[in-house]
Amino acid sequence: MDKQPTIGRFAPSPTGPLHLGSLYTALAGFLQARSQQGRWLLRIDDLDTLRNIKGSADTILKTLESFGLHWDGEVYCQSRHIDVYNDIISDLQRNRLIYPCTCSRKKLTASVRKQAPPDIYPGICRNRQTPPDCPYALRIKTDNRIIAFRDELQGLIFHNIAEQDGDFIVQRKDRVIAYQFAVVIDDNLQHVNHIVRGFDLLDATPKQIYLQQLLGFATPGYMHVPIIVDEQGYKLSKQTQATAVDLTAPHGVIFKLLVLLKQNPPIELQQASVTELLSWAIAHWHPLLLKNTHAVS
């Protein structure tokens, strides 16, 4: 049987310009897909409208193009697929696999079981028979199955969903579809079969695999790359005021990112064009060099 072509994706949220950490992850995914003669898709995760910043999506697209990271096909926007998410939620409700939850963070903190970590839902609303007459989230029912998968950099992972996560939210009280739920449906719709993303999202992967199993979707391959941290050890992010990536010298940024990705670009390429750098990087992409490493900007 012929091997399926690699289909990867980059899925930024339009909450501001790309910073170096985001571009680092995008480059890793791009190189992985292109080194396998595969496709690299672009998705805008724009469901959380309160966090979206007008014009950010266009800025992200222009930034990727400036660095030669050209995606395949049309840009996929989550906001155009809300009906799909809602239809699947309706199916899960009919099958009694999700339930409404009115618990507040304060209530959960006060009632959490002593033997469970505070971030695991204790099932207070699990047996609710009728929808409440106040705002509620929707939680998915979990069971004691062990989710096992082999990450290409982090190795074999075992995870008990019920014990380590509990029933998690698939739709928030403000009716926004939760990230964990939307991303599983998006990847299935886009036929994504290989996901490259930051190590900080490794803990989310078992939940997503659980949903894939529940919905009958295929599980992609995963590669969680080390994240870029600053000199204090903090992840580069909008929350830590990471600055927008410098667009004045794209070739210099790409060279720096290849160094951070442990690809050891030859010094003579330091002044090469973006096209030359990316051609070299695709031909020499060796992600296992990232194993057991971390990146400091």
* CA torsion, ordered 258, 259, 261, 262, to nearest 10 deg: 130
Per-residue pLDDT at 231: 61
Same domain (yes/no): 33, 52: yes
Report the sign of the C-alpha dihedral through residues 278, 281, 287, 289, in that order. negative
pLDDT under 70: residue ranges of the chain: 1-2, 107, 109-118, 230-242, 293-297
Task: Tell me the whole-structure pTM to 2 decimals.
Answer: 0.91
Determine, yes or no, domain membership for 49: yes
Same domain (yes/no): 201, 276: yes
Per-residue pLDDT at 128: 79
Per residue in 191-226, pLDDT (tens digit) is 999 999 999 999 999 999 999 999 999 999 999 999
Determine, yes or no, domain membership for 156: yes
Determine, yes or no, domain membership for 214: yes
Helix/strand/coil (H, E, C) string of 233-263?
Answer: CCECCCCCCCCECCCCCHHHHHHHHHHHCCC
Out of 148, 179, 210, pick the residue that ends a domain. 179
Same domain (yes/no): 75, 155: no
Same domain (yes/no): 68, 102: no
Same domain (yes/no): 89, 115: yes
Per-residue pLDDT at 16: 92
Annotated ligand binding at 9? The verdict is yes
Annotated ligand binding at 10? The verdict is yes
Same domain (yes/no): 16, 161: no
User: CB pairs under 8 A, 24+ apart, for 68-73?
Assistant: 68/250, 68/254, 68/274, 68/275, 68/277, 68/278, 69/10, 69/26, 69/27, 69/30, 69/40, 71/10, 71/40, 71/41, 71/42, 72/39, 72/40, 72/41, 73/39, 73/41
Annotated ligand binding at 30? The verdict is no
Domain range enclosing 94: 84-179
Same domain (yes/no): 71, 195: yes
Tokens of 222: 């995963």
What are the CA-CA distances from residue 212 to residues 41, 63, 168, 180 (Å)? 20, 32, 14, 11
Q: Which of 290, 76, 71 is nearest to 198 (CA)?
A: 290
The answer to whether 201 and 270 have CB atoms below 8 angstroms apart is no
Same domain (yes/no): 191, 77: yes
Q: Rounded to an integer, what distance in angstroms lies between the CA atom of residue 296 and that of residue 226?
A: 10
Out of 142, 157, 179, pick the residue that ends a domain. 179
Annotated ligand binding at 121? The verdict is yes
Same domain (yes/no): 38, 106: no
Coil vs helix vs strand at 284 = helix
Determine, yes or no, domain membership for 2: no
Per-residue pLDDT at 141: 96
Q: Which of 287, 273, 290 is nearest to 29 (CA)?
A: 287
Per-residue pLDDT at 107: 67
Annotated ligand binding at 197? The verdict is yes
Same domain (yes/no): 138, 155: yes
Determine, yes or no, domain membership for 206: yes
Annotated ligand binding at 77? The verdict is no
Annotated ligand binding at 103? The verdict is yes
What are the CA-CA distances from residue 78 to residues 13, 43, 250 (Å)? 10, 7, 29
Same domain (yes/no): 127, 265: no
Same domain (yes/no): 171, 284: no
Out of 128, 153, 179, pick the residue that ends a domain. 179
Determine, yes or no, domain membership for 162: yes
Annotated ligand binding at 87? The verdict is no
Annotated ligand binding at 181? The verdict is no
Annotated ligand binding at 94? The verdict is no
Per-residue pLDDT at 115: 46
- Residue 257 belongs to a domain with what CATH number? 3.40.50.620
Determine, yes or no, domain membership for 285: yes
Determine, yes or no, domain membership for 1: no
Q: How many structural domains comprise the chain?
A: 2
Per-residue pLDDT at 239: 55
